[in-house]
Amino acid sequence: MLSIGSIVYLSEGNQKIMVLNRGPLVEQEGQKVYFDYTGALYPQGLDPEQVYYFNDEDIDEVIFEGFKDEEETRFIKLYEKWLEKEGSKIKKGNTGSSKDNQTFGF
């Protein structure tokens, strides 16, 4: 799991995306789903009209890994526990990358 502030290229992408959030819960096709990450274009930053939701499998290349400390390590541990327990009840969001390489964005 990448930390906040990490910069990536998504599969078939030509713009850098900065990780803003991990594990967001959103509605997709009338169903609550989760994604691995929320991101924004880099270096532009957050535009509420252009938020990107994507998963680990959508990442083509990691350009930069964000800051990590003991709180990050603790977060990852708790998040993995949540995925095992609650995450199994919630479907993982689909970006469609396996079909047409598009990122699910709002």
pLDDT at 28: 92
pLDDT at 96: 78
Compute the distance between CA of residue 32 and CA of residue 59 in angstroms, rounded to an integer. 22
Q: Where are the alpha helices (DSSP H) in the chain?
A: 70-85
Q: Judge whether 17 and 27 are in contact, CB under 8 Å.
A: no
pLDDT at 86: 82
Reply yes or no on whether the pLDDT at 70 is more than 50.
yes
Q: How confident is the model at residue 95 (pLDDT cuts 50, 70, 90)?
A: confident
Strands 17-22 and 7-10, bridge-based pairing: antiparallel
Q: Judge whether 17 and 35 are in contact, CB under 8 Å.
A: no
Domains of the chain, by residue range, sit at 7-105
Sheet holding 31-34, edge to edge: 25-28, 31-34, 91-92
Reply yes or no on whether the pLDDT at 105 is more than 90.
no
pLDDT at 106: 45
Residue 101 main-chain phi, psi, to 5 deg: 55, 40
pLDDT at 104: 52
